[in-house]
Structure 1
Amino acid sequence: MACAESDVDLCSVPLVALNVRVRKKLGLYLNPKHTVAADWMAVAETMGFSYLEIKNYEACKDPTKTVLENWQARTADASVGKLLSILKEVERNDVVEDLRPLIDDDVRKYCESLKKQAEPPVQVHEVDSCVPRTPERFGLTTEDDPEGAPEMFDAFICYCPSDFEFVHEMIRELEQTDYKLKLCVFDRNVLPGSCVWTITSELIEKRCKRMVVVISDEYLDSDACDFQTKFALSLCPGARSKRLIPVVYKAMKKPFPSILRFLTVCDYTRPCTQAWFWIRLAKALSLP
């Protein structure tokens, strides 16, 4: 991706570059229903969302935020440039003009983080392990507010990229319904630019009450899922509230992971219990 300081191709900058302040301000502009100016519904329709999807988003506290997150998760070309193009298409040039300085600032920071990742690590002569660590890390997720409390979640979702379609269904059933749960989905909620293992352990241990493990044959081959599961298990019994909930949503050819055999499984593959699947899972995640 071209990220030259003087001329950035905004169509190549993914939507994840936009931080929480821009997303909140977009909601302030687009959430109110206008009789003249286009609101979030017009933006969602231009993004390709169906009538039924838009009607369901009406129940959300911040429909603009929900539309942006779902568009970002399901559309490969969801970019900053595409968003600005859509706002202009629905004739909300006022939003583009007012937010452009903030958007440019977020894009600059995103490009700088990419450059830092590409630079070779700096070698130091010695490392003092006695230096106290920061008690709480900020700026990990899209909704983190540097001047407020860190973003918290009901559950961390451990999954493989090949299982993302089911994760989308989980988001629809648990977040966009009366359950109103808040899920931590790495590809949707986590900002780029930091160590994957550090962010993951921080979220599981300090930001999420539970962890849902989406079990599949691909899960068994994933180093990332293996790390997340074992790390969450290591919190027990000292942190029993970090309960793991294994979920099976499709038939498996490989044996069920032995490390999770002692836990009660939420099984979506049994037709006779599918009607209760989301109710049971939502209740488990809603417990204090």
Structure 2
Amino acid sequence: MACADSEVDLEKIPLVALNMTVRKKLGLYLNPKHTVAADWMALAEAMGFTYLEIKNYEVSKNPTGMVLEDWQARTTEASVGKLLSVLSELDRKDIVEDLRHLISVPEMFDAFICYCQSDFAFVHEMIRELEQTDYKLKLCVFDRDVLPGSCVWTITSELIEKRCKRMVVVISDEYLDSDDCDFQTKFALSLCPGARSKRLIPVIYKRMTKPFPSILRFLTICDYTRPCTQAWFWTRLAKALSLP
């Protein structure tokens, strides 16, 4: 199911990317109990929630919002397209038609690149090797992809949580002194695995004099500094970013 003015498949847009305007409108439609039309209870049942779960949602001021939050947390199949399909199956095509023009498809990325300014030359090389080759991956590079005027912390959090499948962390001595990199890494690690598990991939491209960050020590590293592995470094990284 695609937007009328776009070739983007809404089935591939995760529900977590659904904007707040649409969520509030859904609540206005579905929160009131209906004797004829399907309401939030019917939606929850169609999404596979149990009787006890649905009864517990009744105490919420916004049960529709709670259902959507829990649905996107429990299954990777929760997408904008799937939501519209469920509403259509419940014969709530009135909601689908009213909301369709409000649904803006966000730009999605294969990976958010966490880096400090002194490592930007390597980020440029990463762009050339992963975007401008047959891999055709889409990277989120803050200095290139974020428009001026946005709140740094807000837009960074949204990108990492909602619009990027993974996160590549460019590790260097300078990275260890960067407040921005520290925030981005800790935020990604703090995300609830059930909501949207983030797979962090640490990358080292030059020798370090400082200790490797302890919060990333349990993750497998892509090491560009080893001559014996440089030949397949980009292929290995591209495959990791291409996994579902």
Q: TM-score scaled to structure 1, two decimals?
A: 0.49
Partner residue of 2:161 out of 189, 205, 215: 205
The equivalent of 1:185 in structure 2 is: 141
Note the alpha carbon deviations across 1:213-266, whole angstroms, 9 max, x for none.
Answer: 000000000000000000000014334641000000000000000000000000
The equivalent of 1:286 in structure 2 is: 242
Question: 1:199–1:240: structure 2 CA closer, same or farther, 3 Å change rule?
Answer: closer
1:258 aligns with 2:214: yes
- What's the offset of the Cα at 1:148? 3.5
Tell me the number of residue pairs that the alignment of Structure 1 and Structure 2 aligns. Answer: 147
The equivalent of 1:222 in structure 2 is: 178
Note the alpha carbon deviations across 1:117-166, whole angstroms, 9 max, x for none.
Answer: xxxxxxxxxxxxx9x9xx9xxxxxxxxxx974011000000000000000
Output aligned runs, 1:41-80, within 5 Å: none
The equivalent of 2:11 in structure 1 is: none
The one-letter amino acid paired with 1:171 is: I
The equivalent of 1:174 in structure 2 is: 130
Give 5+ residue unaligned stretches, structure 1.
1-129, 136-145
The equivalent of 2:99 in structure 1 is: none
How many angstroms apart in 2 are the aligned matches of 1:240 and 1:280? 23
Identity between Structure 1 and Structure 2 (%): 89
How many angstroms apart in 2 are the aligned matches of 1:160 and 1:210? 18
Local SS of the residue matching 1:209: strand
1:242 aligns with 2:205: no
How many angstroms apart in 2 are the aligned matches of 1:239 and 1:147? 21
1:164 aligns with 2:120: yes
The one-letter amino acid paired with 2:148 is: P
The equivalent of 1:267 in structure 2 is: 223
How many angstroms apart in 2 are the aligned matches of 1:236 and 1:251? 33
How many angstroms apart in 1 are the aligned matches of 2:106 and 2:192? 23
Note the alpha carbon deviations across 1:31-63, whole angstroms, 9 max, x for none.
Answer: xxxxxxxxxxxxxxxxxxxxxxxxxxxxxxxxx
How many angstroms apart in 2 are the aligned matches of 1:236 and 1:277? 30
The one-letter amino acid paired with 1:163 is: D
Over the aligned positions, Cα root-mean-square deviation in angstroms equals: 2.1
Misfit runs of 4+, over 6 Å: none
Note the alpha carbon deviations across 1:49-89, whole angstroms, 9 max, x for none.
Answer: xxxxxxxxxxxxxxxxxxxxxxxxxxxxxxxxxxxxxxxxx
How many angstroms apart in 1 are the aligned matches of 2:198 and 2:232? 23
The one-letter amino acid paired with 1:176 is: Q
CA contact (8 A) 2:161 2:196 kept: no
How many angstroms apart in 1 are the aligned matches of 2:186 and 2:172? 16
The one-letter amino acid paired with 1:231 is: F
The one-letter amino acid paired with 2:142 is: F
How many angstroms apart in 2 are the aligned matches of 1:283 and 1:158? 19
Local SS of the residue matching 2:166: strand
Partner residue of 1:231 out of 178, 181, 187: 187
Q: TM-score scaled to structure 2, two decimals?
A: 0.57
Local SS of the residue matching 1:238: helix
Local SS of the residue matching 1:191: coil
1:151 aligns with 2:107: yes
The one-letter amino acid paired with 2:232 is: W
The equivalent of 1:11 in structure 2 is: none
